[in-house]
Amino acid sequence: MDKLISRSAQLDMLRRGFSRRSLARAAALLGAGAALPFYNEPALAQLSNIGRLPPDAVKINANENPLGPCPEALEAIARAARNGGRYQYEETSDFVNLLASVEGLKPDHVMPFAGSSDPLHRVILAFTSKTQPLVMADPGYEAGQRAAAFVGSQVIRVPLRKDYAHDVRAMAAAHPTPGVFYICNPNNPTGTVTPREDIEWLVKNKPAGSIVLLDEAYIHFTEEPAGSDLVAAGKDVIILRTFSKLYGMAGLRAGAAFGRPDLLEKLRGFSAGALPVTGMVAASASLRVKNLVPERRKYLREIREDIFEWLEKNRFSYVPSVSNKFMVDVKRPGQEVVREMAARKVYIGRVWPAWPTHVRVSIGTREEMEKFKAAFLEVMS
């Protein structure tokens, strides 16, 4: 356990009420990677779609970007791979400095990771407990709640508002001593936005001793302002970013956490190692491509708007997402539709208990979404 959780972090967890057994489960969480079913998006997707997919499958179940890495990122990977026998720590340092510059932050406010699942779970371990719960939206991204439950932390789920935004006032009132308020913005699975003024209200009015965890995995698909300035202003905020979504690097793993140095320091008490150099150099190369974000945002938006027009034409009810996925109400148990679509080699996302008749669909290429339309009409007729 000492290799995965530092002595100081173990003592802090015991002080917050964790048992020795909870510490062992925390070590298992950190050491297992994607093997545990609550760990990250691909693992969660496997709960619905098990086994290798056929080569002609339409895979729109895990919010991946079908465009993949940009050409500049692929070139950087090829160069770095030739020296893959070396750890190449300097590439991680370069990534941190570049990302900090892009976000208007000091480098000590940026901590690099292989994606954003790792820091999400570190935050759960560092700031929650049985008496300091994780407070999140329902439906919301489940990885954090599964990790919290696994180590024995309390989880409080607050329904989304009627406009599909996080109900920040209900969240703030949910518990007297919360540990973490988790806001995924845009939200997963709904793809909807919580307005900036609501996030600012929560940061200002939350109970003392808690933090706001702002997951911006999908922020690049929108025109919404990012929260980096909240970190620069020294607020009790940690922001998660990943290159798995718009940047198309789900299989390469690059990401970061933004926060005050004292908050990020609490994440260092848990296992860390050399980060994949391929992910680091690909992320850095992607950040340097000036038009990459707006061009990809436009590409996915046009496909999204087309599918929404088609859904309306065919009188299907959906949630008006601004992200790379959406929820559609199939008016019957959603898992039935997931299975019937899979029988037609179209693999869509899973079902959330809070919305049992909704299924989540990721935005694929134009060709993939045409195949989705054909299969969905068959299943729903």
Helix/strand/coil percent split, the chain, to 5: 45, 15, 40
Q: What average pLDDT does range 58-83 have in this prediction? A: 96
Handedness of CA 307, 312, 317, 320 (dihedral sign): positive
The 10s digit of each residue's pLDDT in 300-312 is 999 999 999 999 9
Say which residue, 7 or 47, is predicted with more confidence.
7
What does the block give as tokens for 139? 């439906």
Q: Residue 38 and residue 29: Cα distance in Å, rounded?
A: 9
Position 75 pLDDT exceeds 50 = yes
Picking from 357, 280, 291, 359, the residue whose alpha carbon sits closest to that of residue 95 is 280
Which pLDDT score is estimated for 34? 43
Which pLDDT score is estimated for 13? 78
Bridge-based pairing state of the strands 358-362 and 325-329: antiparallel
**Which of 31-35, 218-222, 353-357 has the lowest average pLDDT?**
31-35
What does the block give as tokens for 7? 């002595």
What's the fold here for domain 69-287?
Aspartate Aminotransferase; domain 2 (3.40.640)
Contact present, 60 and 363 (Cβ < 8 Å) = yes
The 10s digit of each residue's pLDDT in 163-212 is 999 999 999 999 999 999 999 999 999 999 999 999 999 999 999 999 99
Cβ-Cβ contacts under 8 Å for 129 (sequence gap 6 or more): 13, 16, 17, 18, 152, 153, 154, 179
**Which of 17-26, 132-141, 220-229, 310-319 has the lowest average pLDDT?**
17-26
Confidence at 321, pLDDT banded by 50, 70, 90: very high
Q: Give ∠ CA 116-117-119 in degrees, rounded to 5.
A: 70
Picking from 233, 223, 174, 163, the residue whose alpha carbon sits closest to that of residue 198 is 163
Which pLDDT score is estimated for 27? 72
The chain-wide mean pLDDT, for the chain, equals: 92
Decide if domain 41-67+292-380 falls under CATH 3.90.1150.10: yes
Cβ-Cβ contacts under 8 Å for 370 (sequence gap 6 or more): none
Q: Above pLDDT 70, what percent of the chain?
A: 92
Quickly list H helices, the chain: 7-15, 20-32, 41-46, 71-81, 89-103, 117-127, 143-151, 168-172, 196-205, 228-232, 261-265, 277-287, 292-313, 334-343, 366-380
Contact present, 304 and 326 (Cβ < 8 Å) = yes
Which pLDDT score is estimated for 271? 56
Q: Residue 359 and residue 339: Cα distance in Å, rounded?
A: 11
Q: Give the C-alpha distances (Å, rounded to integers) separating 366 from 42, 283, 369, 370, 373.
A: 22, 26, 5, 6, 11
Q: Do domains 41-67+292-380 and 69-287 have the same CATH topology?
A: no
Give Cα 376 to chain centroid, integer Å: 27
Q: Residue 225 and residue 214: Cα distance in Å, rounded?
A: 12
The 10s digit of each residue's pLDDT in 1-44 is 556 778 887 887 788 887 777 777 767 677 655 444 445 555 55
Which pLDDT score is estimated for 32? 57
- Domain limits of the chain? 41-67+292-380, 69-287
Which pLDDT score is estimated for 37? 45
Q: Above pLDDT 90, what percent of the chain?
A: 82
Which pLDDT score is estimated for 329? 98
Global pTM reads 0.92
Which pLDDT score is estimated for 303? 98
State the CB neighbour count (10 A cutoff) for residue 95: 25
Q: Residue 20 and residue 11: Cα distance in Å, rounded?
A: 10
Picking from 219, 221, 222, 169, the residue whose alpha carbon sits closest to that of residue 199 is 169
Which pLDDT score is estimated for 157? 98
Reported as type and span, the H/E element at residue 326 is strand 325-329
Which pLDDT score is estimated for 45? 53
Q: Dihedrals φ, ψ of 41, to 5°? A: -60, -50
